Chain A
Amino acid sequence: DSGVTQTPKHLITATGQRVTLRCSPRSGDLSVYWYQQSLDQGLQFLIQYYNGEERAKGNILERFSAQQFPDLHSELNLSSLELGDSALYFCASSEGHLNREAFFGQGTRLTVV
């Protein structure tokens, strides 16, 4: 158990819908990262938050947004879902800016039908 908690574990939704994925980082970690893992794209970095502020942005679609709350948990919002958004979404956390390890949650498997 990495100490990073993601909910829900599985999500099935229809095209055009909106979902929210939640992540609680390890105790003491200030950085939260979101990654998408799909068969065709591999593991792709989406976005990083550090202590409530957005710090780095990767290949995140405009339909996707994220935030980190004062208690440091983070949410990834995915809207106008398409079949191609089906993937495993991971949250990771680290103490700072990847000075050492990043710990990954169990992931949320999103299936868009």
Chain B
Amino acid sequence: ELKVEQNPLFLSMQEGKNYTIYCNYSTTSDRLYWYRQDPGKSLESLFVLLSNGAVKQEGRLMASLDTKARLSTLHITAAVHDLSATYFCAVPLLKETSGSRLTFGEGTQLTVNP
């Protein structure tokens, strides 16, 4: 069974600081997704990482994927209050004969304080 673990689960940081969220998964996958969720809202796609060594950046967020280590990181640079949200990583389980699904991590609740 595929397990996806994130840490930390809660992160309180000051504006202007840097931090990294980690996502480990238990079985082989060559792709990984990061989502953002504001309270009570939908999941917004942030990054789709499709290969080993993939690195993508959008604003103050940068995501990377190491498929050999089964690890993805989401790095936050110079945090601002608007980044406060819950961040999820998700790993697809793809089976040719039986479809596909995303297995999500527990989520990292990020609070950026002024």
Binding site for B on A (CB under 8 A): 2, 31, 33, 35, 42-43, 45, 48, 50, 55-56, 58, 88, 90, 92, 94, 97-98, 100-107, 109
Contacts and interface: CB of A to CB of B under 8 A. Distances in A.
Contacts of B78: none
B58 to A, nearest CB: 14
Contact of B99 (A55, A88, A100, A102): A55
Range of interface residues on B (Cβ < 8 Å): 20 to 34
A45 B105 CA distance: 12
A102 B104 contact: no
A2 B42 contact: yes
Contacts of B99: 31, 48, 50, 55-56, 97
Contact of A45 (B43, B45, B88, B103): B103
Contact of B100 (A98, A101, A105): A98
A56 to B, nearest CB: 3
B101 A56 contact: yes
Interface of B: 33, 35, 40-45, 48, 50, 88, 90, 92, 94-95, 98-104, 106-107
Contacts of B106: 42
Interface of A is mostly: strand
A107 B38 CA distance: 12
30 contacts: A2-B42, A31-B99, A33-B102, A35-B102, A42-B106, A42-B107, A48-B99, A48-B100, A56-B95, A56-B98, A58-B101, A88-B40, A90-B42, A90-B43, A92-B43, A92-B102, A97-B94, A97-B100, A98-B92, A98-B94, A98-B102, A100-B50, A101-B33, A102-B33, A102-B45, A103-B45, A104-B35, A105-B42, A107-B41, A107-B42
A102 B95 contact: no
B85 to A, nearest CB: 14
Contacts of A109: 40
B77 to A, nearest CB: 24
B91 to A, nearest CB: 10
Contacts of A88: 40
A102 B44 CA distance: 10
